[in-house]
Amino acid sequence: MKEVSLKIFHRIHPAKEVLERFKLDIAYSCVFGNSEKENIIHLFSHCEHSNLFWTDMKDYIIRKIGTNIQIKVFDVMLYSTFNGLSIKQNYKIQLLVILGKFHIHKSKRTSLKPSFHRLIVELKQYCTSIEYVKNSKAAKTFCILKEMNFV
């Protein structure tokens, strides 16, 4: 998951526009079915399917945390803290954004459109796999996801 975020940050995620420099014989339109050219910003934010995914995630966060937030391109592409929220609330949002980016990356690889509902199912499976892991980061992630009812 961290690798995907780093590739986005450094603008080397293998979106079709990045691959274009290798003169590959592929269609450069968005993998999710749009006619627009697939670049990193389009894939992770501007694509109608990704945009819907982030809207669904924002609505979920608002319901769970109880505060109104906006997930902007900057938050997805780089990193952001949300003013007026506690450190723990920011951590929860940032964790979901990182998991969301990985979900979009994985959706591209499987040619499925991003789906917040599918992410929830995957996170529940992920929680069962890390529940008994002794690693402190895995334990913290499990606790946060448990607080957000993914367990």
Nearest alpha carbon to residue 104 among 62, 58, 149, 42: 42
Residue 76 located in a structural domain: yes
CA dihedral 99, 87, 138, 40 (to 10 degrees): 20
Instruction: Count up the domains in the chain and report the number.
Output: 1
Q: Which of 4-8, 38-42, 54-58, 93-97 is predicted with the least confidence, judged by mean pLDDT?
A: 4-8
Rounded distance, CA 57 to CA 10, Å?
A: 24
Residue 131 located in a structural domain: no
pLDDT band at 111 (very low <50, low <70, confident <90, very high): confident
Residue 21 located in a structural domain: yes
Residue 127 located in a structural domain: no
Of 3 and 147, more confident: 147
Residue 56 located in a structural domain: yes
Alpha helices in the chain (DSSP H): 2-9, 16-19, 40-41, 48-65, 73-77, 87-110, 116-130, 136-147
Range of the domain at 100: 2-111
pLDDT at 54 over 70: yes
Residue 6 located in a structural domain: yes
By CB neighbour count within 10 A (0-12 exposed, 13-18 middle, 19+ buried), where does 104 fall? buried
Average pLDDT over residues 101-130: 94
Each residue's pLDDT tens digit, 2-53 = 677 777 776 777 776 766 667 677 777 888 877 788 888 888 899 999 999 9
The percentage of the chain sitting over the pLDDT mark of 90, rounded to a whole number, equals: 42
Residue 125 located in a structural domain: no
Residue 83 located in a structural domain: yes
pLDDT band at 99 (very low <50, low <70, confident <90, very high): very high
| pLDDT value for 126 | 93
| pLDDT value for 142 | 93
